[in-house]
Amino acid sequence: MTALLLAFTLMAGAVTIHLLGGILVVMYLSRQIVTDSPRPILQALRILISLFAVLLLLHLMQVAVWALLYWWRIGWDFNTAFYFSTTTYATIGYGDVVPPPEWRLVAVTQGLTGVLMLGWSSALVFAEVMRLFQASNWGAPRSRE
């Protein structure tokens, strides 16, 4: 029961990390969009690479927090804990590192949390692409002057 309570606490921490990081990056990127940019494709590329880098860092922070739990409570070395945490969070699950039976529900909770966080990131990317598309008028009809 203690392990599951820790898992839900870490799930709440993951949501907090993603929410705060997502808000900050969206606020920053919204100031970076220039509607009359001479090179809208390069602007979009720069903004999207920045977004992907920040999202990757946010996910790695969450993976590291889960890894600290495995390191602390299971006793794995940090490299093994981080590897297991990454494959679990991303739902890859190679199966070469397996937690003790009492920690399996924790790993399942991490996997479900990872799926939700990755989906949330996909939604952020989609929203940013749509905002870039609208700001650049790529979809606007061209005049035939």
Q: What is the 3-state secondary structure (H, E, C) of 24-64?
A: HHHHHHHHHCCCCCCCHHHHHHHHHHHHHHHHHHHHHHHHH
Choice between 140 and 123, residue whose per-residue pLDDT is larger: 123
Domains of the chain: residue spans and CATH: 2-33+59-136 (1.10.287.70)
- Asked if residue 141 has pLDDT above 90, the reply is no
Query: Given the structure tokens 């905002």, which residue do they identify?
Result: 131
Euclidean distance between CA atoms 114 and 124, whole angstroms: 15
pLDDT of residue 65: 97
As a whole number, mean pLDDT of residues 25-54 equals: 85
The pLDDT mean for the chain works out to 91
pTM of structure = 0.89
Reported as half-sphere exposure (CB side, CA atoms, 13 A), residue 32 has a value of 20
State yes or no: pLDDT of 20 exceeds 80: yes
pLDDT-based confidence at residue 78 (cuts at 50, 70, 90): very high
Map residue 143 onto helix, strand or coil.
coil
Dist CA 119 CA 121 (whole Å) = 5
Q: Is 143's pLDDT higher than 90?
A: no
